[in-house]
Amino acid sequence: MAGQSHYTPEMPDFDRPVKVLIVVAPFYKDIADDLVAGARQMLARVDASVELVEVPGALEIPTAIRIAQRTGDFDGYVALGCVIRGETTHYETVCNDSSRALTLLGLDGCCIGNGILTVENHDQAAIRAGEQDKGGGAAAAALHLIALSRKWRGTGKGIGFKPHGEDMRQS
């Protein structure tokens, strides 16, 4: 992989303040701290308001985001943590289930940057959390999705049924 370059879209501009919740599972505290630092640095570039919560593990991250989505006032979310392969199949369960739950939340309209590292060993995690700045990358992903959400908010297609309580528009 050395020598490859990756395209990264320009960061969006925001005309209204952005509020982001970082949900981190600090099981590997040194890795989590680097991921959070990268995310905070990226979010500071757009003067985002940031709140941070810790949960016990990667499986709890999607649940915490869903609770915040229902009860909080956030524009987007950054999921951070690290899962290192062990000797059992628990690794696959945690990786697959946390990723699937975050994807389902995203498909439901939640603006999430997924920065849960899934690695073979601590050295790989340290590189991804540090020099590769996967925490910053996850925050950037959330910001891009927030920008898209704001761009397309209220631009319904005018077909189908309206949810209960929405006024009918006359042409």
Q: Catalytic amino acids?
A: 90
- With contact defined as beta carbons under 8 Å apart, do 105 and 65 qualify? yes
Nearest to 43 by CA among 35, 53, 31: 35
d(CA 68, CA 31): 24
d(CA 38, CA 33): 9
Coil, helix or strand for 118?
Answer: strand
The helix or strand, by DSSP H or E, that contains position 76, with its residue range, turns out to be strand 76-84
The DSSP letter of residue 58 is: G
Nearest to 54 by CA among 36, 38, 72: 36
